Amino acid sequence: MSTISFFVSRQVLFGLALLVSGTAVAQADGFGFAQVEARARSLAHAPYDATPPALPTFLKDLDPAQYAQIQDIHPYWSDGDSPFQVQFYVPGSYFPRPEKISVVDQGAVAAIPFQLQDFSFGTLHPQDLPRDLGYAGFRLLYPLNTPPNYNEFNSFLGATYFRAVGKDAIYGTSARGIGIDTAQPSGEIFPYYRHIWLVKPAPGATDMTVYALMDSSVVTGAYRFIIHPGTDCVVDVQATIYLRKPVQVLELAPLTSMFWHGHGRGVRAGDWHPAQHDSSELVLANGNGEWISRPLDNPLQIQTTSYEMQQPQGFGLIQQPRDFAAYQGIETQYQRRPSVWVSPVGDWGKGQVRLVELPTNNPDMDNIDVFWVPATQPQPGTAYHYAYQVRFFNQQHGLIPLAHPTATYLGYDEKDPKWQHVVVDFSGGALTRLPGTMTLQAHFSAADGAQVRDQHLEYSQDGHFWRLLAEVQTAPNVPSNLRAFLTLNDQVMTDTWTFLLQPTQGGH
């Protein structure tokens, strides 16, 4: 094969495909979400194909570092005037399942041909790879940080995972299209996208539309993602799902992150860094106006916490602080990893925001999951519609209106380890305008049979924050739900801080 013919691009092949009537191209007047919904509905009433994907041994056995060497070196749409470019992933390592990826361009839909020669394999030596291998996912590029150069800001890879970053940020917390039975004894089920449609944006467009058809043994679904790059990356999500059969836990708008240790929480296991985490806390905005903050933890065993809510206004995983000294990670750069916020569109009714924390001693493992569980699960075969917005950001820009718990520290009494020290710092919001001479009232409670002693409030003039200190003794072998907030003359000044305090080992 000649060099010229070997490097025929996907764009040229797409153009040739348009000339082949009735084969590679289907006319798609008005193609959109309704057509993807129809496919999801048909899938839900058809037998599930449980055939495992066939993958060459070379790709299947790659470790993550080896897989990362495989790079798409010829971005899709790079030959034209598109404001976005696309790079693709090959199946391999932890991502063995290929998915069909098509383009929607001016009323026509065509499959994007797989081109093995568009990939560089670094130091790897691929053997006997098929020419129709297919794609495992894609990533989007936009002139975000260093225009006119294009920078990656969004990626869809593995099951229904997607992640994004705003300007000058790096990847951290991920989102998912759906979750099923996380941390259940029966085992988690991972639905996947079997078909993706990329809508070619017009010249000068500032957003990108992606459609996705989701499948699994228990649920199918149709998704539309409208992705807006910028200082923050905003993803508008519209979804319709169809259960094939009931599930134990139906998880909507899931977020996945990592918390290893930091601020006196989590097992350090000899790590010298002050902290290592993609997110530091869960924040929730209830429909009744209450804001709740829950510092994350790396527990010794699986820990699940549920928050009953009515018409939730939002929830998310927040990363703080935002300075290098807090992490000391030259390569990891945790201070640049995004916070992620989910804003429901419309009335989501009653349900729970559920937090699952898994024990880990591996900073490469996502051990934090948070998601919405509707109070009423849809009936199998019945369409369930919902919509929401996901924002990936590094600066809050007033998102959390009240003063906020900015740090949580835990310790124990060396003379009597049954008693644990609990320290919470509050700052920001209206507290920034209050002099330290103002008398704030601390409201601290420990449920589930726990006792509290030596509770008091201190003010730091240097950092302009208020510190709540208390000592807590849990009931024998029973975790205690802690809550705290500050008021001034009966006016709530801060978010409600919550935490699940485990009994000390050896304390009982």
pLDDT score of 15: 42
* Average pLDDT over every residue of 38-42: 97
Cβ–Cβ < 8 Å for 223, 177: yes
Q: Compute the distance between CA of residue 37 and CA of residue 53 in angstroms, rounded to an integer.
A: 24
pLDDT score of 53: 87
Using alpha carbons, list the distances in angstroms from residue 120 to 13, 70, 71, 253: 20, 6, 5, 34
Judge residue 157's burial from the number of C-beta atoms within 10 Å of its C-beta, 0-12 exposed, 13-18 middle, 19 or more buried. middle
Q: Dump pLDDT digits (tens) for 317-355.
A: 999 999 999 999 999 999 999 999 999 999 999 999 999
* Average pLDDT over every residue of 302-306: 95
* Average pLDDT over every residue of 39-63: 93
Q: Is the pLDDT of residue 269 over 80?
A: no
Question: Which position has the higher pLDDT, 506 or 184?
Answer: 184
Q: Compute the distance between CA of residue 44 and CA of residue 380 in angstroms, rounded to an integer.
A: 9
Mean pLDDT of the chain: 91
Q: Dump pLDDT digits (tens) for 118-167.
A: 999 999 999 888 888 999 999 999 999 999 999 999 999 999 999 999 99
Q: Is the pLDDT of residue 16 over 60?
A: no
> Residues near 40 by Cβ (< 8 Å), separated by ≥ 6?
213, 214, 220, 221, 222, 240, 241, 242
Give the distance from CA 100 to its chain's centroid: 23
- Domain residue spans of the chain: 404-501
∠ Cα 345 351 354 (to 5°)? 100
pLDDT score of 13: 39
Q: Is the pLDDT of residue 281 over 80?
A: yes
Q: For the chain, give the longest Cα–Cα distance.
A: 82
- Architecture field, domain 404-501: Sandwich (2.60)
Model pTM score? 0.91
- What percent of the chain has pLDDT above 90? 81
Q: Compute the distance between CA of residue 463 and CA of residue 453 in angstroms, rounded to an integer.
A: 26
pLDDT score of 20: 35
Query: Within 13 A of 92's CA, how many CA atoms are on the CB side?
Result: 23
pLDDT score of 7: 31
Cβ–Cβ < 8 Å for 108, 27: yes
pLDDT score of 481: 95
Least confident among 125-129, 238-242, 422-426: 125-129
Phi, psi of 334 (to 5 degrees): -60, -25
Q: Dump pLDDT digits (tens) for 461-500.
A: 999 999 999 999 999 999 999 999 999 999 999 999 999 9
Q: Compute the distance between CA of residue 153 and CA of residue 140 in angstroms, rounded to an integer.
A: 6
29: confidence class by pLDDT, cuts 50, 70, 90: low
506: confidence class by pLDDT, cuts 50, 70, 90: low
pLDDT score of 254: 98
Q: Compute the distance between CA of residue 192 and CA of residue 386 in angstroms, rounded to an integer.
A: 18
CB atoms < 10 A from the CB of 98, how many? Answer: 20
* Average pLDDT over every residue of 6-30: 40
396: confidence class by pLDDT, cuts 50, 70, 90: confident
Q: Compute the distance between CA of residue 360 and CA of residue 368 in angstroms, rounded to an integer.
A: 10
pLDDT score of 10: 44
Q: Dump pLDDT digits (tens) for 350-363.
A: 999 999 999 998 89
Structure tokens at 368: 């934090």
pLDDT score of 131: 86
* Average pLDDT over every residue of 383-404: 93
Cβ–Cβ < 8 Å for 128, 56: yes
